[in-house]
Structure 1
Amino acid sequence: MSQVLDAPPAPAPHGPPARALSARELAERHGLSVANARPSLPGYARQLWRRRHFITAFATAKLTAQYSQAKLGQVWQVMTPLLNAGVYYLIFGVLMNVKRGVPDYIPFLVTGVFVFTFTQSSIIAGTRAVSGNLGLVRALNFPRAALPISFCLQQLQQLLFSMVALAAIILGFGLPLSAKWLLVIPALALQFAFNAGLAMAMARVCAKTPDIGQLMPFVLRTWMYASGVMFSLDQVTKGKQVPHWVHAALEHNPAAVFIDLIRYALIDSFHSSRLPSHVWAWALGWALLAGVGGFIYFWKAEETYGRG
């Protein structure tokens, strides 16, 4: 018994004690990677392209479900902007008489309402793209930019339904069908890029601060009045002491640029002299600025969506 109690202690191991591995080092040792890690910008774009079928299907499903509970169903896709145009015609065309000096005022007005509604609805949908789909964001691994882009695609599909009614209105007022109508295709493509960029930017902002989405209807309403939707900016500012920079800002603001391009394409009496200078360059510039800028801005916060 004494021999056991008096046995010398075991010798200490040579060298410093082993350091406990961090969680990151353990993950790397066993081949684990961070969930939802932000890929490179080109890699992110490739992921989006691989999911283009999901984006299209998601947009179509949302559009179909939007009016599924209404008795008239998809008819509201056309009726809603037409009713808005009717209200604006009574207020601005009849009561305020801003139609004076504007040939083909009803096609002029309906075109402006339809085109601006495309931008307005895309931005509002973008404010809810992430915050309104947290279940999907937290459950599945996919590039989150697919959500605001799909909402913009949904609004484009709705606009295309409305364009059928717009074409009927234009032809009903005796305006001719011409090859200029094909200009609608590049104009809408540029507007879609612009809208998608703004929707992605608003999706990131409202994912962190949802209250900003409550302010957007007021901002968009002000923007609508400054974009010549219901009246001609030239007629309103004619004969008034308006600073040159104010007039230039009004006619080159992106909503006015896209509205003017589509009016020029569809309405025969809307001549090229009424377009701002270098209008296609302005449209391309706005599309690249908002589209690329919004995409990069959204991508930089990719790892944060759905957290908190």
Structure 2
Amino acid sequence: MSETTHDGGVAVSDRLSPDDGLTAAELATKYGLSVSGARPGLGEYVRQLWGRRHFILAFSQAKLTAQYSQAKLGQLWQVATPLLNALVYYMIFGLILKAGRGMSLDTYILFLVTGVFVFTFTQSSLMAGVRAISGNLGLVRALHFPRASLPISFALQQLQQLLFSMIVLFVMAFGFGSYPSMSWLLIVPALVLQFFFNTGLALIVARMGAKTPDLAQLMPFILRTWMYASGVMFSIHTMLAGKPEWIVRALQLNPAAVYMDLMRFALIKDYGAENLPPHVWVIALFWAVVVFVGGFVYFWKAEERYGRG
């Protein structure tokens, strides 16, 4: 289509551009444009995360180093904090409430310290995860990277802290007569499964905390309730003896209790299989896979909304 006019005897032809009449969406498709910050496909998102693996590791190590940088004892607080918590729980639940009945003193102390260390791993992962986005908005808004890098790096930070603390746990096991055996090899798969479970939870609460920052204030109360229901300070199998079987099984299937019991079974020589629920490894695998995959997809679905508004 063309128009011809005469201006001072000179013909001027004005032709329409081939792009005239196309909508913005059609133009974007034609020239290969995409929305800035749009959520990539799930497979592409996983590839992007793998490409940022060095950043995730370095960020977790930097956070771990900075965590106690202002304290005189520095990294020693990674071990001192759960040990002090265990001491308080021992005085209240061990000495006053006799929660360790049915166990020797040495076994109960190892039982309690192991439970505190393992539950602290999950607790710290959730507390760090809930602030992963809301507490790092400057980084989220300034740089383009898969946002899942943040909660994953915080969960990895807590794993590194636990591994540091495990040295003290091993020393205590030696001191109380639990020496290395084949069962100690079970510590590795138990920690791997718990790490994936914790990471999934961190991804879930990271999305929730990004939208509702006040969740960080509520989380300590939720975690405290979860801790008391998970058998950190007492054996569910022993304390609920004589209670309806479904109550015992419900508490034993609690994922925090499952991972604690697996670690206790692996580490403590007098903590037998009778304290574990049936098919405990299947249950541990189920929690790890379902929560990690579900949490990852749940977090990914809101990728383009983090740091906005």
Distance 2:270 2:146 in 1: 45
Asked if residue 35 in structure 1 is aligned to residue 36 in structure 2, the reply is yes
The reply on whether 1:146 has 2:149 as its aligned counterpart is yes
Query: Displacement of 1:182 after TM fit?
Result: 1.3
TM-score normalised by structure 1 residue count: 0.91
The one-letter code sitting in structure 2 at the alignment partner of 1:223 is W
> CA shift at 1:247, angstroms?
1.4
* Equivalent residues of 1:198, 1:291 under 8 A apart: yes
For structure 1, which runs of at least 5 residues remain unmatched after alignment? 1-6
Which residues in structure 2 correspond to 1:117-266 (within 5 Å)? 117-239=120-242, 242-266=243-267
Confirm or deny: 8 A CA contact 1:102 1:232 kept in the other structure. no
Mean CA deviation greater in 211-220 or 143-152:
211-220
Shift of 1:23: 4.3
Distance 1:108-1:14 versus aligned 2 partners, 3 A rule: closer
Q: What's the offset of the Cα at 1:28?
A: 4.5
Cα deviations by residue, 1:165-190 (Å, 9 ceiling, x for unpaired): 00011101122211211111110000
1:227–1:255 contact (8 Å) kept in structure 2: yes
SS in 2 for 1:157: helix
Displacement of 1:21 in angstroms is 5.2
CA distance, structure 2, for counterparts of residue 35 and residue 14 of structure 1: 33
Task: Find out whether 1:84 has 2:85 as its counterpart.
Answer: yes
Count of residues in Structure 1 that have an aligned counterpart in Structure 2 = 299
Residue 271 of structure 2 aligns to a residue whose secondary structure is coil
Match of 2:285 in 1: 284
Task: Give the TM-score of the pair, scaled to structure 2.
Answer: 0.91
SS in 1 for 2:230: coil
Structure 2: which amino acid aligns with 1:252? L
Matched-pair identity in %: 65
Letter paired with 1:162: S
Report how far residue 84 of structure 1 moved.
Answer: 0.6
1:3-47 superposed Cα distances (whole Å, 9 cap, x missing partner)? xxxx9xx9xx999xx966554445445543222211111111111
Report the Cα distance in structure 2 between the residues aligned to 1:14 and 1:210, rounded to whole angstroms: 56
Query: In the alignment, which residue of structure 2 is the partner of 1:306?
Result: 307
Per-residue deviation, 1:213: 2.2
Residue by residue over 1:75-109, the C-alpha shift from the partner in whole angstroms, topping out at 9 and shown as x without a partner, is 11111111111111111001111112123100000
Q: Deviations over 1:190-218 (max 9, x none)?
A: 00000000100000011111122221111
Listed as ranges, the gaps of 5+ residues in structure 2 are 1-7
